[in-house]
A and B are shown apart, each in its own frame.
Chain A
């Protein structure tokens, strides 16, 4: 069946979720929330992929969906490692406050 909502709507939603995720990653102090924001951004990108796949010329090639699936897998792996790092950093610095972590200072 064809869809009622146009592609642009999905894209806008995806953009909005992406922007919100970015805002969260850029403004919150806690490192874990930064990671959550990044997950949100990844998800928004996935939505973008699926939307274009659906509205694209050859949906039966499954290209878009495969891409999205692989993206989900990678995101999961990245979340695992990232959170492990946050835990390790917490053990060292006794805090997850990003404002205080400036060891990379030049």
Chain B
């Protein structure tokens, strides 16, 4: 179903563009949520259901909220006087365009050699669980540590100074 793909892609890209172009930060945060959603839908279309739902849970449910909190805590609602774009925005845009050009060129050049779609895999959560505890147990544990460290680190970093000196 090609049309579903195109619709979802358009949604995603629109959301991404909105994120980058909008002036008010909160609007940007909401737009990026839309982009996250579009991406999740694309995951679903690719038969990665677990990844899709994980994406919704984590990104939309946690990261976006986090971003909103950060915006609130840093008074992001105020618009800066000189404008939201950097003085040298053209350079940045050009670089980004260059990156896209290179990537696109790479894809298009190798398009004839890209593999065709195969039969959809039958992925169950059970299988994922087995893989996590079996083959990927080390990365799992490391990610667990990483998450713990990130948690502790974020708390320490963002703590108020007065409380920080007591530690």
How does the 8 Å CB contact mask read for A17-55 relative to B, with 1 for contact and 0 for none?
A: 111111110111110110111011001001100110111
Q: Which B residues touch A28, using CB under 8 A?
A: 20, 84-86
Question: Which B60-91 residues sit within 8 Å CB-CB of chain A?
Answer: 62-63, 66-67, 69-71, 73-76, 80, 82-87, 89, 91
Number of interface residues of A (CB under 8 A): 76
Query: Which applies to chain A's interface (DSSP): helix, strand, loop or mixed?
Result: helix
Q: Are B89 and A27 in contact (CB under 8 A)?
A: yes
Q: How far is the CA of A12 from the CA of B7 in the complex (A)?
A: 15
Q: Are B86 and A98 in contact (CB under 8 A)?
A: yes
Q: Which A residues touch B91, using CB under 8 A?
A: 26
Q: Which B residues touch A73, using CB under 8 A?
A: 58, 143, 146-147
Q: Which A residues touch B73, using CB under 8 A?
A: 87, 90
Q: Are A32 and B74 in contact (CB under 8 A)?
A: yes
Query: Which applies to chain B's interface (DSSP): helix, strand, loop or mixed?
Result: helix
Given contacts A32-B76, A66-B132, A87-B73, contact A15 B19 (CB under 8 A): no
Determine which of B42, B54, B76, B150 lies in contact with A80 in the assembled complex, contact meaning CB atoms within 8 Å: B150
Q: Are B5 and A30 in contact (CB under 8 A)?
A: no
Q: How far is the CA of A21 from the CA of B9 in the complex (A)?
A: 15
Min C-beta distance of B30 to chain A, whole Å: 11
Q: Are A16 and B96 in contact (CB under 8 A)?
A: no
Q: How far is the CA of A23 from the CA of B107 in the complex (A)?
A: 20
Interface centre among B2, B70, B149 (most CB of A within 10 A): B70
Q: Does A106 contact B (CB under 8 A)?
A: no
Closest residue of chain A to B115 (Cβ to Cβ) is: A55
24 contacts between A and B (CB under 8 A): A6-B116, A9-B9, A15-B104, A17-B35, A19-B96, A19-B99, A27-B85, A27-B96, A28-B85, A33-B25, A35-B67, A46-B39, A46-B43, A59-B123, A60-B123, A65-B123, A69-B128, A72-B55, A73-B146, A75-B63, A77-B150, A80-B150, A80-B154, A83-B154
